[in-house]
Amino acid sequence: MARTSIGVIMNGVTGRMGYRQHLVRSILAIREQGGVELADGTRVRVEPLLAGRNETKLREIADRHGLSRWTTDVDTALADPEMQIYFDAQLTSVREASLIKAIDAGKHIYTEKPISETVDGALDLARRAQAAGIKNGVVHDKLYLPGLLKLHRLIASGFFGRILSVRGEFGYWVFEGDWQSAQRPSWNYRAEDGGGIVTDMFCHWDYVLTNLFGRIEAVTARAVTHIPQRWDEQGKPYDATADDAAYAIFELENGVVAQLNSSWCVRVHRDELVEFQVDGTHGSAVAGLHNCVAQHRGATPRPVWNPDLVETEPFRDQWQDVPANSTTDNGFKAQWEDFIRHVVDDGPHPYNFLAGARGVRLAEAGLESSRRGARVELPELTP
């Protein structure tokens, strides 16, 4: 097969997410398989240029993976005509300015979220990208998870009848950093650095709920900082100024109500780190990262409330596993392939800057709801 290549500037690969998911498990995995297959059967190779501020870390990563191209001069990289795509996995606080530079350089852009710290900034990015005629995409990785793909198939089949509600639990215990090191970077717990679980997770909840169940019309949320002091990567104590847990009710179109708890201060008593229970008139399902179980109305047991007797119903055993019916790849890698096809082959990719702006808007509305102690309505967002 004939092959072409496309250059990708990867800014922020020295961070956990940028390195593990986007470089190693996506771009390098795509290179290993011989590129991305296009509609006509040809393949396009991906040639990464690592970018960032830490020369030592960049050189070490490049040497580890046999990569020849890296730089701390992002402006020069943006001026390179061989580099057609700019990718950003930096801190949220510096992302918007970097994306504007990439737009001005005429690069197609694929980026982590949030794309900006404010709705106005996110909408400005969408307008700039549209005016420049560049293709743009935002990471929507959870839509590619095996568990949610199974859930989507149930929805598409009409399994649920009329969907009534969604209940989600996400989170795990992140160690404070004093007696055990934290599993997340310290900036996540500093509002001044763009941290906070609302800013992090509500962007996810926006695209998950919108794409599976319908547009979000209102939110009522409570964001809290349960643990006010943590210890950073050097073992030094610092004040946690960002929220580490959020409890929210989302009202969707068609009357669907979603309740989602997000917490870095919860110990896990569920099968996976995130689970969504969907209840409908004809059936229910519980989906996680990988697994999904369902119960149709014809197989629904008849529980009877009696607090005087020990419960003997094996409720968990009464659900049926939903089969995969196809092989699934790493979600980050799968979306990278979709975006590259979008750039090279003009394939579909609806997860653009406007979709990213909706996520920022939901996070902003969640924080506003928490501050005011009030329900916040969300009119349809337009660029």
3-state secondary structure the chain: CCEEEEEEEEECCCCHHHHHHHHHHHHHHHHHCCCEECCCCCEEEEEEEEECCCHHHHHHHHHHCCCCCEECCHHHHHCCCCEEEEEECCCHHHHHHHHHHHHHCCCEEEECCCCCCCHHHHHHHHHHHHHHCCCEEECCHHHHCHHHHHHHHHHHHCCCCCEEEEEEEEECECCCCCCCCCCCCHHHHCHHHCCCHHHHHHHHHHHHHHHHCCCEEEEEEEEECCCCEEECCCCCEEECCCCCEEEEEEEEHHHCEEEEEEECECCCCCCCCEEEEEEECCEEEEECCCCEEEEEHHHCCCCCCCCCCCCCCCHHHHCEECCCCCCCCCHHHHHHHHHHHHHHHCCCCCCCHHHHHHHHHHHHHHHHHHHHCCCEECCCCCC
pLDDT score at 2: 45
Distance between CA atoms of 290 and 311, rounded to whole angstroms?
29
Distance between CA atoms of 129 and 135, rounded to whole angstroms?
7
Please check whether residues 255 and 204 belong to one and the same domain: yes
Q: Tell me whether residue 213 is in a domain.
A: yes
pLDDT score at 382: 84
Q: Tell me whether residue 382 is in a domain.
A: no
Please check whether residues 94 and 175 belong to one and the same domain: no
Please check whether residues 54 and 181 belong to one and the same domain: no
Q: In terms of residue numbers, what domain contains 137?
A: 3-141+331-349
Distance between CA atoms of 383 and 377, rounded to whole angstroms?
18
Please check whether residues 316 and 340 belong to one and the same domain: no
pLDDT score at 98: 98
Please check whether residues 130 and 150 belong to one and the same domain: no
Q: Which amino acid is at 334?
A: A
**Which phi and psi (to 5°) does residue 192 adopt?**
-65, -15
CATH code of 10's domain: 3.40.50.720
Please check whether residues 82 and 193 belong to one and the same domain: no
Please check whether residues 120 and 266 belong to one and the same domain: no
Please check whether residues 228 and 324 belong to one and the same domain: yes
Q: Which amino acid is at 215?
A: R
pLDDT score at 1: 39
CATH code of 180's domain: 3.30.360.10
Please check whether residues 119 and 135 belong to one and the same domain: yes
Q: Tell me whether residue 301 is in a domain.
A: yes
Q: Tell me whether residue 354 is in a domain.
A: no
Please check whether residues 290 and 318 belong to one and the same domain: yes
Q: Tell me whether residue 381 is in a domain.
A: no
Instruction: Give pLDDT tens digits along the chain (383 positions).
Output: 345 899 999 999 999 899 999 999 999 999 999 999 999 999 999 999 999 999 999 999 999 999 999 999 999 999 999 999 999 999 888 999 999 999 999 999 999 999 999 999 999 999 999 999 999 999 999 999 999 999 999 999 999 999 999 999 999 999 999 999 999 999 999 999 889 999 999 999 999 999 999 999 999 999 999 999 999 999 999 999 999 999 999 999 999 999 999 999 999 999 999 999 999 999 999 999 999 999 999 999 999 999 999 999 999 999 999 999 999 999 999 999 999 999 999 989 999 999 999 999 999 999 999 999 999 999 999 87
Please check whether residues 219 and 119 belong to one and the same domain: no
Q: Tell me whether residue 343 is in a domain.
A: yes
Q: Tell me whether residue 100 is in a domain.
A: yes
Distance between CA atoms of 372 and 362, rounded to whole angstroms?
15
Give the total number of structural domains in the chain.
2
Q: Whole-model pTM above 0.85?
A: yes
Distance between CA atoms of 359 and 377, rounded to whole angstroms?
14
Please check whether residues 298 and 325 belong to one and the same domain: yes
